[in-house]
Amino acid sequence: MDWLQQLINGISLGSIYALIALGYTMVYGIIRLINFAHGDVFMIGSFVGFYAITGLGLSIIPALILAMAVCALLGVVIERIAYKRLRNASRIAALITAIGVSLLIEYGTIYFRGAQLEVFPSALPTKSFNLWGATISVQSILILSISVVLMIILQIVVRRTKVGKAMRAVSHDVEAARLMGINVDRTISATFAIGSALAGAAGVIFGIYYTKIEPLMGVIPGLKAFVAAVLGGIGIIPGAAIGGLVLGLVETLVSALGYSNWRDAAAFIILILILIFKPSGILGKNSREKV
């Protein structure tokens, strides 16, 4: 067994989960909503990337940027139309709405283009090289670099920019944020835009890596990214990245040990374990109210 190889596979898969999980966790952090339509935004990103490459003849980086832009817009529109008016409604109402939006995107896509599979064009060189006996494809290196670059950009945006600070303020205390003069609606839109753009990027990367895309492809990665977000500590941005990587590595490990049928189960067993033993996640603190 080639452990280095498996490690690289695990990190590549994990970075895809991490990119999707980031959007889950950011949206949860700011409006306490599990946005179940997020996996479908990921699917749309994949299709936009596919059509950009095959239809418009774009190369990989422009296609990636286009997919991110379309998804950012889609995320903002979803929030404005479906979630905004439910901000003061019960959480279950918002959750059910999110599931409705998810189904609408999935079956809307099927309605417009059919349910058939597409094969993602190999937009990247399929070369590979040897490193200490492991075969590492140029693809997986590129995937990894794209993910890492995006996560670094995200970290800079959240830590250093005005909109990032506003996002953190709103997620901590909406009313106090308003008293600073922060436009809460606009900040929430920005959060959806950024989270959805990352999902769009993940969609394109997923297409490159796994080559097959279809309208229901967002369901399982979406759920797993949700697990990753919970695993890292929902609402905590670095947690989503860590949760994604851990999940990717665990799944790859399970497959590598010869239990590939158990791969998906592993993710959900992790979810159950984390909910039993540390519901606040790896980076989460058990919240204690300070008087």
Residues that bind other proteins (CB under 8 A): 162, 165-166, 168-169, 172-173, 175-183, 290
Shortest reach from residue 291's CB to other proteins, in Å? 8
Shortest reach from residue 29's CB to other proteins, in Å? 10
Shortest reach from residue 284's CB to other proteins, in Å? 13
Specify the residue, 180 or 265, whose C-beta has the smaller distance to other proteins.
Answer: 180
Those residues with Cβ within 8 angstroms of residue 213's Cβ, 6 or more apart along the chain or in another chain: 43, 46, 47, 50, 117, 118, 120, 203, 206, 207
Cβ contacts of 140-146, under 8 Å, gap ≥ 24: 140/8, 140/9, 140/12, 140/209, 142/208, 143/12, 143/15, 143/16, 143/205, 143/208, 143/209, 144/8, 144/11, 144/12, 144/15, 146/64, 146/201, 146/205
User: What are the start-end ranges of the H helices in the chain?
Assistant: 3-31, 38-54, 60-78, 91-113, 138-160, 162-172, 174-179, 184-210, 219-232, 237-256, 263-277
Specify the residue, 133 or 181, whose C-beta has the smaller distance to other proteins.
Answer: 181
CA distance linking residue 22 with residue 148, whole number of Å: 13
Shortest reach from residue 173's CB to other proteins, in Å? 6
Specify the residue, 23 or 164, whose C-beta has the smaller distance to other proteins.
Answer: 164
Shortest reach from residue 266's CB to other proteins, in Å? 32
Specify the residue, 235 or 244, whose C-beta has the smaller distance to other proteins.
Answer: 235
Specify the residue, 216 or 282, whose C-beta has the smaller distance to other proteins.
Answer: 282
